[in-house]
């Protein structure tokens, strides 16, 4: 029997003798795990091309009458049961013998991760699963992937494909970048002008349709949230504040410091150019917080997860420095530098704390890019470290939870795979090996600080990815490499072994129709 070649590699794997034949199997789940059984059945049918008769579902009552208990292997059955002693959330134990399969999990998410392992085996081995025993669980609780749907819009069908591929890699946080200078993609029914002006932009590049447009309705967002939830993935929406806000200003110019573009007399137009723009949300205008509050009302209702990303990156202070309303806030709040001069950098900290409070009022916790440390963010704010490790190190030392996502260390999948003119990408080079070599926990942290590194994330900025196929090419297999960094024990990682397993895993991606990069890995 061939090696299982799983990716990410499990914590402990022991090979057995023989194989289990999926044809004619039934899947039985203990109460609470039925959705994992349905998902597993769907995954196995698609991987093996067996139909619903060959891979069936039975309820707990049908599986021997006595319900489903842990650790049992029954003939012709995949039994999914709970074993709370297995450890933290998402942990599971999988035993495949020639007679049956038992999947015991700490919780529903653990059952989904175990199902993902079975799916990988079926994708590479067909209906004959190798006998083995696996004990597995995650290294980090936050294993994220960010997709930028603002710079270029992707249909819900593509979002679902991406989520399904995340589940294949045991990733569990989908950070959905929904607003930016180049697009506002979330429909807020009480403010239809947001998508009317913000989800459409003139396109001035060649060979691209003259208008680039698209947004997600409430029903589509619910569909995405449900699809992700079935796969044990939490959707973390991002509403960018106070910068990267041109698409919002396109419908609400009064929220800018000058009330308009140009000298203040022209309308804002959702940007087609890339970069950083000086017109941002005015920190001294209460209407800004009213509008954000209404947006967050809808966000809080649509997204059941506990986190909302509020941006906070790349905010030029040119407008705030001279805006009477912003200067007034700085004076009233005493936001001054050591020499006593008004300090707009501190105004950003004040602004982000107002945003965090709006979210907290709605039961949500704020995440921000590491620039939020330039003020004094609330203790419960989570810092996403993107400008290297230093923001994350500083944040952990201040007691914040941290998600590591440094652009300098292989987490930015818009970078080129190789330093060649033929390779697409921007702003840097990141080989598959670079991604695999990433270590989320900096050595400079003491154990208490290191425990605040809750995980790590890959980011896919789509300025140069007009089509979903482009996203796939940039994501895979670097996201596969990062998934092992995020999930597997640090001492379980080995480059040569990974590169060998990736040859098999690439065929799984092929079977799922992924347009993967196939060039040199380093
Ligand atoms: Zn202002």
- For residue 451, report the distance from its CA to the centre of ligand 1, in Å: 39
Burial 331-358 (b: 16+ CB within 10 A, else e): eeeebeeeeeebbbebbbbebbbbbbeb
Burial of 435 per CB tally in 10 Å (0-12, 13-18, 19+)? buried
The active-site residue, picked from 5, 34, 104, 180, is 180
**pLDDT band per the 50, 70, 90 thresholds, residue 53:** confident
pLDDT per residue as tens digits for the range 5-20:
999 999 999 999 999 9
pLDDT per residue as tens digits for the range 294-352:
999 999 999 999 999 999 999 999 999 999 999 999 999 999 999 999 999 999 999 99
| Residue 292 DSSP symbol | H
CA pair distance 483, 435, nearest whole angstrom: 10
Superfamily of domain 12-136: Chitobiase/beta-hexosaminidase domain 2-like (3.30.379.10)
CA pair distance 59, 72, nearest whole angstrom: 16
> Over 90: is that where the pLDDT of 204 sits?
no
Q: What is the mean pLDDT of residues 242-252?
A: 98
- For residue 376, report the distance from its CA to the centre of ligand 1, in Å: 20
β-pair type (12-21, 128-136): antiparallel
Torsion angle, CA of 196/199/200/203, rounded to 10 degrees?
170
Q: Give yes or no: 314 in active site.
A: yes
The active-site residue, picked from 244, 252, 400, 505, is 244
State the pLDDT at residue 61. Answer: 45
The active-site residue, picked from 160, 203, 314, 423, is 314
The domains of the chain are located at 12-136, 178-368
pLDDT per residue as tens digits for the range 461-516:
999 999 999 999 999 999 999 999 999 999 999 999 999 999 999 999 999 999 99
Query: Which H/E stretch holds residue 135?
Result: strand 128-136
Q: Give yes or no: 244 in active site.
A: yes
Same fold for the domain at 12-136 and the one at 178-368? no
CATH of domain 178-368: 3.20.20.80
CA pair distance 161, 155, nearest whole angstrom: 10
∠ Cα 290 296 298 (to 5°) = 115
State the pLDDT at residue 188. Answer: 98
The label of the residue with tokens 């270590």 reads 439
pLDDT per residue as tens digits for the range 109-154:
999 999 999 999 999 999 999 999 999 999 999 999 999 999 999 9
């Amino acid at each position: 029997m061939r090696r299982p070649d799983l990716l990410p590699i499990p914590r402990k794997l022991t090979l057995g003798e023989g194989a289990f034949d999926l044809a004619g199997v039934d899947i039985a789940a203990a109460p609470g795990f039925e959705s994992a059984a349905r998902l597993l059945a769907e995954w196995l049918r698609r991987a093996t091309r067996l139909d619903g008769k060959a891979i069936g579902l039975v309820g707990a009552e049908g599986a021997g009458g006595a319900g489903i208990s842990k650790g049992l292997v029954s003939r012709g059955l995949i039994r999914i049961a709970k074993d709370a002693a297995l450890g933290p959330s998402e942990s599971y134990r999988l035993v495949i013998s020639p007679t049956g399969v038992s999947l015991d999990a700490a919780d529903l998410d653990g059952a989904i991760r175990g199902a993902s392992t079975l799916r990988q085996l079926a994708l590479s081995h067909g209906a004959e699963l190798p006998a083995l025993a696996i004990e597995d669980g995650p290294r980090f609780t936050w294993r994220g992937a960010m997709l930028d749907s603002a710079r270029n819009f992707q249909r819900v069908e593509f979002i679902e494909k991406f989520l399904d591929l995340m589940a294949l890699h045991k990733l569990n946080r989908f950070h959905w970048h929904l607003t930016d200078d180049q697009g506002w993609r979330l429909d807020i029914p009480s403010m239809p002008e947001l998508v009317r002006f913000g989800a459409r932009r003139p396109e001035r590049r060649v060979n691209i349709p003259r208008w680039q447009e698209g947004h997600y309705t409430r029903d589509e967002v619910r569909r995405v949230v449900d699809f992700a939830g079935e796969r044990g993935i939490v959707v973390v929406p991002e509403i960018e504040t106070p910068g990267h806000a041109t698409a919002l200003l396109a419908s609400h110019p009064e929220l800018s410091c000058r009330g308009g573009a140009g000298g203040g007399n022209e309308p804002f137009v959702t940007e087609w150019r890339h970069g950083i723009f000086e017109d941002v949300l005015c920190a001294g205008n209460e209407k800004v917080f009213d509008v954000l509050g209404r947006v967050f009302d809808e966000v809080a209702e649509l997204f059941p997860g506990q986190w909302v990303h509020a941006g906070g990156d790349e905010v030029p202070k040119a407008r705030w420095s001279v805006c009477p309303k912003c200067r007034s806030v700085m004076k009233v709040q005493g936001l001054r530098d050591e020499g006593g001069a008004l300090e707009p950098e501190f105004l950003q900290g004040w602004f982000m704390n107002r945003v965090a409070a709006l979210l907290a009022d709605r039961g949500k916790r704020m995440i921000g890019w590491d620039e939020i440390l330039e003020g004094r963010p609330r203790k419960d704010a989570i810092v996403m470290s993107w400008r290297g490790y230093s923001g994350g190190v500083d944040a952990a030392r201040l007691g914040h939870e941290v998600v590591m996502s440094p652009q300098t260390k292989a987490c930015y999948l818009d970078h080129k795979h190789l330093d060649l003119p033929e390779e697409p990408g921007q702003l840097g080079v990141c080989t598959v090996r670079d991604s695999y070599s990433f270590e989320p926990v900096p050595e400079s942290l003491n154990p208490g600080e290191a425990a605040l590194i809750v995980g790590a994330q890959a980011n896919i900025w789509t300025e140069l990815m007009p089509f979903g196929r482009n996203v796939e090419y940039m994501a895979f297999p670097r996201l596969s490499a990062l998934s092992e960094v995020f999930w597997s024990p640090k001492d379980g990682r080995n480059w040569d072994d990974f590169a060998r397993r990736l040859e098999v895993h690439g065929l799984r991606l092929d079977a799922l129709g992924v347009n993967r990069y196939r060039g040199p890995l380093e």
